[in-house]
Chain A
Amino acid sequence: MDRTEAPTRDAATDLATLPDAAPPGTDAAPGGKPLGRLRIICSLVVISLYVLAAIIGPILLKYDSVATDLGARLKPPGTRLADGSLALFGTDQVGQDVLAQMLQGARVSITVGLATLLLAGVIGVAAGLAAGYRGGWLDAVLMRLADVQLTFPSILLAILIASILGPSVVNIVIVLAISNWVTFARVTRSQVLAIKERDFVDAARTLGARTWHLVSRTILPSAIAPILVVATVELGHVVLAEASLSFLGLGTPASTPSWGVTIANGRDYLSNAWWISTIPGIFLAILVISFGVLGDALRDRFDPRLRSM
Chain B
Amino acid sequence: MTAYLTRRIVFALFVLCGAVTIVFLVLRLVPGDPAQLILGSDATAQEIATLRTQMGLDRSLFVQYGIYLGDVARFDFGDSYRYHRDAMTLVVDRLPATIQLAVAAMVIALILGIGLGVVAALRVNRLADRVVSVFALLSQSMPSFWIGIVLILVFARQLNLLASGGRGGLDRLILPAFTLALPVIAILIRLTRSGLLDVVHENYIQTARAKGLRERIVIFPHAIRNALIPIVTVAGIEFGKLLGGAVIVETVFAWPGAGRLLIDSISARDYNVVQAAILLIAGGFVLINLIVDVLYGYLDPRIRLGR
Q: Mark A273-290, 1 if CB is under 8 A from B, else 0.
A: 010011001001100110
Residues of A within 8 A of B216 (CB): 5, 8
Interface size on B, residues (CB 8 A): 71
List residues of chain B with CB within 8 A of the CB of A151: 15, 285-286, 289
What total count of A-B pairs have CB within 8 Å? 177
Q: B14 near A: Cβ within 8 Å?
A: yes
**A144–B26 CA distance with the chains assembled, in angstroms:** 19
Is there contact, CB below 8 Å, between B198 and A24? yes
Closest to B191 in A: A25
Q: Are B30 and A165 in contact (CB under 8 A)?
A: yes
Contact B241 A153 (CB under 8 A): yes
Given A15-B121, A25-B198, A270-B153, is A160 in contact with B141 using a C-beta cutoff of 8 Å? no
B68 at the interface (CB under 8 A from A): no
Of B27, B150, B152, B193, the residue contacting A25 (CB under 8 A) is B193
Kindly specify which of A53-61, A69-77, A214-222, A244-252 makes contact with the partner chain. A244-252
Check if B145 is an interface residue, CB within 8 A of chain A: yes
A156 sits at the interface (CB 8 A): yes
Most A CB atoms within 10 A — which of B133, B149, B209, B278? B149
Residues of B within 8 A of A4 (CB): 115, 118-119, 122
B141's partner among A155, A159, A285 (CB-CB below 8 A) is A285
Q: Which residues of B contact A11 (CB under 8 A)?
A: 122-123, 215
Contact yes or no, A292 B194, CB < 8 A:
no
1/0 per position for B199-230, CB-CB distance to A under 8 A? 01100000001000001101110000000000
Do B263 and A15 have beta carbons less than 8 Å apart? no
Asked, given contacts A16-B200, A25-B197, A156-B278, whether A281 binds B244 with beta carbons under 8 Å apart, the answer is no
Minimum CB distance partner of B242 in chain A = A153
Cα A267 to Cα B26 in complex, Å, equals: 31
Q: Render A177-209 as a binary contact track against B, CB cut-off 8 A, 1 for contact.
A: 000000000000000000000000000000000
Q: Give the number of chain A interface residues (Cβ < 8 Å).
A: 61
- B245-281 CB mask vs A (1 if < 8 Å, else 0) is 1011001100000000011001100000010001001
Pick the residue among A9, A148, A278 that contacts B153 (CB under 8 A). Answer: A278
Q: Are A271 and B219 in contact (CB under 8 A)?
A: no
A15 partner, pick from B124, B141, B289, beta carbons under 8 A: B124
| B4-22 vs A, Cβ < 8 Å mask (1 yes, 0 no) | 0000000100110011001
Q: Is the CB of B143 within 8 A of A243?
A: yes
Q: Is B177 an interface residue (CB 8 A)?
A: no
Given contacts A1-B115, A159-B266, A160-B23, contact A7 B289 (CB under 8 A): no
Q: Does A152 sit at the interface, judged by CB under 8 A?
A: yes
- Of A281, A285, A288, A292, the residue contacting B149 (CB under 8 A) is A281
Bound-complex Cα distance A293 to B281 (A) = 32
Interface residues of A, dominant DSSP = helix
Name B's A-contacting residues (CB within 8 A): 11, 14-15, 18-19, 22-23, 26-27, 30, 32, 37, 115, 118-119, 121-126, 133, 137-138, 140-146, 149-150, 152-153, 157, 190, 193-198, 200-201, 209, 215-216, 218-220, 240-241, 243-245, 247-248, 251-252, 262-263, 266-267, 274, 278, 281-282, 285-286, 289
11 additional contacts (CB under 8 A) given A25-B195, A240-B143, A281-B149: A15-B196, A152-B19, A153-B240, A153-B281, A159-B266, A244-B145, A260-B145, A263-B146, A263-B149, A266-B149, A292-B141
Binding site for B on A (CB under 8 A): 1, 3-5, 7-9, 11-12, 14-16, 18, 20, 24-25, 27, 29-30, 144-145, 147-148, 151-157, 159-161, 163-165, 236, 240, 243-244, 247-250, 260, 263-264, 266-267, 270-271, 274, 277-278, 281, 284-285, 288-289, 292-293
What 8 A-B pairs have minimum CB-CB distances, sorted nearest first?
A: A25-B194, A153-B244, A281-B146, A24-B197, A11-B122, A12-B215, A148-B18, A163-B266
